[in-house]
Amino acid sequence: MKKCLLLDFDGVISRNSTADIMNATYAFISEYKDINRILFDELFKALVPFPLFESINFFMSSIGLEDKKELLLSKIKTITHDTSEFESLITKWNELGFIIKIYSSSRHYSNGSSPFKSKLPNNLFIQTDLNSKINSNSFRNIASDLGISPENIIYVDDCPMAVCIAKSIGIHAVMLINNVYTINDFNKTLNYNCQCITTLSQLTPLLLANKH
């Protein structure tokens, strides 16, 4: 029976990248607009589950900076990502019999227009369409394309909304708590018992328990 470990990229595989993108976006916008940081952070976190191009279009248009969105995207592209913890664990996880895949709403679009480069192999990434992570069909389609039933997928994301939707179709969903999505976001958004981790290494015991 095939089993899959499905992971988000920004905030999970690259633990600090969600914060880096958020801070870079705020710094960029602040050059043109005076915007409250708390309000900005809440809006940014709400837009994370959606495809990056859609989020940027919506946000920049809503604050009157539509003509600056390509400049913002080019700024975001320069951010570097540390994936060393993931790379140190992937061989062990494969040995436990799990197919490893990455599902990101900002990378590897099916039309080849990914805004980012990654040093990780392309075949790790799910080629996504324009469905957001709060559309349950996004997860149903992934399970169908992989030929794996949802209950045999362990999914890890730092976004509570994405975790909630994945769980709603029977996926074993795990939330990674980081410096953007905190335990407070978890408590506000998820009204059920959800497993939380703070590092990728904490996944290994979970995979060991689910390898059969």
Q: Summarize the confidence of residues 181-192 as an average pLDDT.
A: 77
Q: Which two tokens stand for residue 6?
A: 């499905």
Q: Which residues of 158-173 are buried (b: 16+ CB within 10 A; e: fewer)?
A: bbbbbbbbbbebebbb
Residue spans per domain, the chain: 3-14+81-209, 17-77
Q: What is the pLDDT of residue 28?
A: 96
Q: Summarize the confidence of residues 127-135 as an average pLDDT.
A: 77
pLDDT bucket at 81, cuts 50 / 70 / 90: confident
Q: Which CATH superfamily is domain 3-14+81-209 in?
A: HAD superfamily/HAD-like (3.40.50.1000)
Q: Which two tokens stand for residue 118?
A: 């990654």
Given a cut of 90, is residue 36 above it in pLDDT? Answer: yes
Q: Does the global pTM surpass 0.85?
A: yes
Q: Summarize the confidence of residues 9-36 as an average pLDDT.
A: 93
pLDDT bucket at 109, cuts 50 / 70 / 90: very low
Q: What is the pLDDT of residue 130?
A: 58
CA atoms of 132 and 152, how far apart (whole Å)? 22
